[in-house]
Amino acid sequence: MGCLRPWARYGLLVVAHLLALGLGAVVLQALEGPPAHRVQASLRAELATFQAEYGACLPPEALEELLGAALAAQAHGVSSLGNSSEVSNWDLPSALLFTASILTTTGYGHIAPLSGGGKAFCVIYAVLGLPASLVLVATLRHCLLPVLSRPGAWAAARWHLAPARAALLQAAGLGLLVAGTFVLLPALMLWGLQGDCSLLDAVYFCFDSLSTIGLGDLLPGRGRHLHPALFRIGQLALLGYLLLGLLAMLLAVETFSELPQVRAVVRFFGSSGPQAADDQGGLVAQDQLALSALPPAVPAAAPQQALAC
C-alpha cells in the first residue's frame, strides 16, 4: 500500500473511521437495546400501578406534567429527592468541580447553568480558560517528560537495548504506571467506599474521566444518602483527581505517540513530500540522530582552520 497517493490514503483513513463508528454503533445497539427496553417496560408498569391506585386523585395529565418538570430539573442537576435539600448544587465545591470539568473538557453534565448570564460566562470562561489550560499542560509536559524518560534511557544503557525497543519499554512502563495509579487504584478505593458500586463501574468511571469522555452517568456519591461533609470531600478529591490524572494521561499518550511504530503509521497517512529530521525518529532516536550528525562536520572544518592559522 506504499504506492497509494496521499488522497487515497486519506480516503482509506476516513473509510476506516466510518467503519469503526458503524461497528461501535451496531455493537452498542445489540448490547444496550434489550436492557433499555426492560427499563422502559418496568417504568411503564410502575406508572400503570401508580395510576391504578391513585388515578382518582391524580389525573394522568397532571402526573405527566409533574414528571416532565422533575426530569427537566434533573437534567440541569437540580433534584428534590433524598437529602438534596441539605446540599446545594452551586456551593463552592460543586462550582469548583464544574469549572474543572470545563477546563479539562470532561463535561460530566451533572449540573448545568440555568441563567443566561451563567451560560454566557461559561462560553467566555471556556474560550479564555481552555488555551490557558493547554499552555499549563504543555509546560508541565516539557518539564516532566525528560524526567520520565530517564528510566528508559537507563534501561537502554544498562542492557544495551536498541532505541526502538527502549522507547517501547519506556512507553509500556509509563502506561502501566498511569493505569495502576490513576485507574486501578482509584477504582479499588471507589469500589470499597461506594458500597453499591461494582468494580467494573468504578473502572468505567475512572477511564471515562481521564479520557475526558465524561458521560456523567456515574459520579461518586450521586444518588446516595451520604453525609454532606463526606460528599463535599469527595467532590474536592475528584477535582484533584481530574487535574493530576489528565496530566498523567496526556504524558502517557505523548510517550506512545513518539514510538517509531506509531510515527510510521502517521507517516504512511501523511504527505509523500520530504520529511524533516524531527519526523524521522522517536524520543531515543532523536538524540542519536543529533549526535551522529556532529562528527562528519568536525574533520571537514579542522584542516581549513589549520591552514588559516
Q: What is the pLDDT of residues 179-228, one digit of tens each?
A: 999 999 988 988 887 767 788 888 888 888 888 887 777 665 554 555 66
**pLDDT tens digits, 3-60:** 667 777 778 878 888 888 888 888 888 888 888 888 888 888 888 888 777 766 777 7
- Per-residue confidence (pLDDT) for residue 185, from 0 to 100: 92
Is this prediction's pTM over 0.75?
Answer: no
Buried b (16+ CB within 10 A) or exposed e, 76-109: ebeeeeeeeeebebeeebbeebbebbebbebbbe
* pLDDT higher than 80, residue 305: no
Asked if 248 and 256 touch (Cβ cutoff 8 Å), the reply is: no
Q: 160 — alpha (psi -120 to 50), left (phi > 0) or beta?
A: left
- Per-residue confidence (pLDDT) for residue 286, from 0 to 100: 43
For residues 19 and 12, give the distance between their C-alpha atoms in angstroms, rounded to a whole number: 10
- Per-residue confidence (pLDDT) for residue 124, from 0 to 100: 92
Q: Any idea what the Cα angle at residue 77 is, between residues 123 and 238, rounded to 5°?
A: 80
Residue pointed to by grid coordinates 499542560: 137
- As a whole number, mean pLDDT of residues 163-181 equals 85
Q: Any idea what the Cα angle at residue 46 is, between residues 44 and 51, rounded to 5°?
A: 95
- Per-residue confidence (pLDDT) for residue 79, from 0 to 100: 61
Every domain of the chain and the residues it spans: 86-269
- Per-residue confidence (pLDDT) for residue 77, from 0 to 100: 62
More confident residue, 244 or 1: 244
Residue of 80, 102, 57 lying closest to 214 (CA atoms): 102
- Per-residue confidence (pLDDT) for residue 272, from 0 to 100: 52
Query: Residue 129, exposed/middle/buried by CB under 10 A (0-12, 13-18, 19+)?
Result: middle
Asked if 240 and 234 touch (Cβ cutoff 8 Å), the reply is: no
Q: What is the CATH number of domain 86-269?
A: 1.10.287.70
- Per-residue confidence (pLDDT) for residue 291, from 0 to 100: 33
Determine which of 18-22, 88-92, 200-204, 252-256 has the lowest per-residue pLDDT on average: 88-92
For residues 309 and 267, give the distance between their C-alpha atoms in angstroms, rounded to a whole number: 47
* pLDDT higher than 60, residue 240: yes
Residue pointed to by grid coordinates 470499597: 192
Asked if 114 and 76 touch (Cβ cutoff 8 Å), the reply is: yes
**pLDDT tens digits, 122-168:** 899 989 988 888 888 778 877 887 787 777 778 778 787 787 788 88
- As a whole number, mean pLDDT of residues 81-94 equals 61
**pLDDT tens digits, 257-300:** 888 888 887 777 765 555 544 444 444 444 443 333 334 444 44
Nearby residues of 85 by Cβ (< 8 Å), 6 or more positions away: none
Query: Residue 262, exposed/middle/buried by CB under 10 A (0-12, 13-18, 19+)?
Result: middle
For residues 99 and 239, give the distance between their C-alpha atoms in angstroms, rounded to a whole number: 9
